Amino acid sequence: MTNGKLYTISNTHQHEVRIKRSVFIGTIAPAHTKEEAEAFIQQIRRTFHDATHNCYAYRIDPSTFRYSDDGEPSGTAGRPILTILEKFQLVRAVLVVTRYFGGIKLGTGGLSRAYARCAEETVRGASVQPVVFFQQLRFRCDYPFIRQLHHLLHQFGGHLVEADYREDVEVTVEIPQEQLEAFRGELSARAGGKIAFQEVGG
């Protein structure tokens, strides 16, 4: 995935790897905020409370991320997990790799490879989908146009945020950024030019 797009996952997925008697369990989940990611990490720690380590990385967006070696030698666990998230251009995602030590030391290089392998195989088994970025659009229209508006929102993958019914209707919608200009054009055409657009933060 090197097309510049960002991706996320749609549901929680778990994968297990055994390397020289150690068991590595990767668990990846969606996380739209740092708080969601931290809560998921705590959940995994409770689930695998008897594990030797629960190492993790999460990436909310390209500039918002965190990782932890959770007691493994510095740089051998958290960073390799984060590198896998970056490799697959994943955001809004948290990945925990749990380790049960099997009695055979892997060395720093072996540890890094083990955590990276478990992380990558976990990601490859998950349901990955493109991240859709939405842009808000605000406008006024006539009451009779609302039915057509709902049809257009469905057609362009958008949704209604707010509608204020006064003499006419003040509407705020969210549209996928890639569809915004096409939606505006179709909206104006369907309404016969009777659309008054307003500035709004996106």
Residue ranges per structural domain of the chain? 7-130, 134-198
Strand 196-198 relative to strand 134-141, pairing? antiparallel
C-alpha dihedral sign at 137, 138, 140, 146: positive
Q: Does position 94 have pLDDT exceeding 90, yes or no?
A: yes
Q: Say yes or no to pLDDT of 1 above 70.
A: no
Q: Half-sphere exposure (CA, 13 Å, Cβ side) for 71?
A: 9
Helix (H) / strand (E) element for 140: namely strand 134-141
134-198: CATH topology is: Alpha-Beta Plaits (3.30.70)
| CATH code assigned to 7-130 | 3.30.230.30
Per the prediction, the chain carries an average pLDDT of 91
Between 65 and 104, residue with greater pLDDT: 65
With CA atoms as reference, report the closest residue to 5 among 176, 158, 201, 161: 176
Neighbours of 184 (CB within 10 A): 15
Work out the pLDDT band at 199, boundaries 50, 70, 90: low
What is the pLDDT, as a whole number, of residue 162?
87
Confidence bin at 105 (pLDDT 50/70/90):
very high
What pLDDT digit, counting tens, does each position of 163-181 carry? Answer: 888 888 888 999 988 888 8
The pTM score is: 0.74
User: Phi then psi for 33, rounded to 5 degrees?
Assistant: -140, 165
Query: In angstroms, rounded to a whole number, what is the distance separating the alpha carbons of residues 6 and 130?
Result: 6
| Exposure letters 65-90 (e unless 16+ CB within 10 A, then b) | bbbbbbebeeebbbbbbbbbbeebbb
3-state secondary structure of 89: coil
User: For residue 48, how many C-alpha atoms fall within 13 Å in the half-sphere facing its CB?
Assistant: 21
Residue 42 is predicted with a pLDDT of 97
